Amino acid sequence: MSPPDISPAISPVISPVISIVMPTLRRPDSLARAVRSVFAQTDAGPLELVVVDNSPEGSAGPGVQALAAEAPFPLRFVHEATPGVATARNSGLAVASGELVAFLDDDEEAPPGWLAALVRVHREHGADVTFGPIRGRAPDGSGWATAYLERLFSRTGPAQSGPVSTHWGCGNSLLTRSTALAGPAPFDPAMDQIGGEDDLLFTKLAGLGRRFAWAAEAWVWEHPAPHRATLTYAVKRAFAYGQGPSQTASYRGDRLAVARWMAIGAMQTAVFGAAAAALWLLRRPERADMLDRAARGLGKVLWMPRFEPRFYGAAEVARSGGAAL
């Protein structure tokens, strides 16, 4: 059954200054929590929310329709049937009308002052892209790995807001469309199945001299789904994170840097792998952190495309129930 068309504004039409784009794929409860947290934003100015359903069957439609009755500003629904994280983001941008575009993931939850803090830092520092912290929350029953999982799903940065020379992921970020989101598909669809579309974009923007900022007060919660809050998933994710430096160096064509990162990764794999094995025998909770570091080291060594884990797109559709629910 096709989802209802609720693309037009649900509440009285105003010209939105800020668009919030929220991709989702078969997470109805988490999506509702994230959407309601956006409804509760204060002092951010005129807004619109664009929910992009990336399931082939458009299963989020009825739930978004129900949430529309609560919307204090325009709520738009987009059904992007081709599974893929980059494609979903691009489809949301095609509908979003704001010059400022914020991204909030469907497993994140923003406190009421989140967007106002993000926008304030963005404007004060003339940034093209501004990032905020993420505080991970492990599900109940995570046991000895709780502290590790919460660190894994968290994002930390400088204690004070201001310009930065590095970049983070797209969840909890604010971008200026004209300078950071040029063209109809700023996120590369080639990254649909593996993720990293945001890292690729931000690496390109850094090369163009775009300005990044960090908004220390603009934090959000992240509530990882149960299938993600496991040591198996965490190690795969750590491996993928580890691939980043080598892949970035390869993208720049810097073979010397690739070799250097591979050498660093080999050393990390050996040292942290041995530490993880020893701590595992002792049943120490720190074993998760050592295993994480070893996996990141191995990712630097095995950075090639054939080793990239599949977390998104078709893999997530298959994991959550196949072509349709």
Question: What are the residue boundaries of the structural domains of the chain, listed by start?
Answer: 18-222, 231-317
Phi, psi of 26 (to 5 degrees): 55, 45
CA dihedral sign of residues 25, 12, 120, 125: positive
pLDDT tens digits, residue range 20-62? 999 999 999 999 999 999 999 999 889 999 999 999 999 999 9
Q: Which residue, 67, 77, 87, 57, is CA-closest to 320?
A: 57
Q: What's 18-222's CATH class? A: alpha beta
Contact 269, 294 (CB under 8 A): yes
Q: The pTM is what?
A: 0.83
Within 10 angstroms of residue 123's Cβ, the number of other Cβ atoms is 14
| pLDDT score, position 162 | 98
Query: 196 pLDDT exceeds 90?
Result: no
Identify the residue with better confidence: 182 or 12: 182
Residues contacting residue 29 through CB under 8 Å, at least 6 positions apart: none
Q: Are 233 and 142 in contact (CB under 8 A)?
A: no
Residue 319's pLDDT is what? 63
Measured between alpha carbons, how far is 290 from 294 in angstroms, rounded to an integer?
6
Find the angle CA(312)-CA(313)-CA(314) to the nearest 5 degrees: 115
pLDDT over 70 at 4, yes or no: no
Q: Tell me the mean pLDDT in the region 171-189.
A: 95
Measured at the CA of 187, the angle between CA 311 and CA 249, to 5 degrees, comes to 75
Q: Which residue has the tokens 């978004």?
A: 64
Tell me the pLDDT tens digit for each residue of 200-236.
899 999 999 999 999 999 999 999 888 888 888 889 9
Pairing state between β 173-176 and 100-103: antiparallel
Closest CA relative to residue 177, chosen from 18, 23, 7: 18
List the structure tokens of 267.
Answer: 């050393």
- Count of residues making up the chain: 325
- The CA–CA distances, whole Å, from 4 to 12, 63, 68, 135, 285 equal 19, 10, 12, 34, 48
Cβ(92)–Cβ(24) below 8 Å:
no
- Tell me 145's DSSP state: G
Residue 61's beta-bridge partner residues?
none
- Is a pLDDT exceeding 90 seen at residue 315? no
Q: Is the pLDDT of residue 116 over 80?
A: yes
Give the pLDDT band of residue 294 (cuts 50, 70, 90): very high
Quick one: residue 5, left, alpha or beta (phi over 0 = left, psi -120 to 50 = alpha)? beta
**Cross-strand bridge partners of residue 155:** 134
pLDDT digit string (tens) for 235-270? 998 999 899 899 889 988 999 999 999 999 999 999
pLDDT at 16: 65
At 62, which helix (H) or strand (E)? Answer: helix 61-68
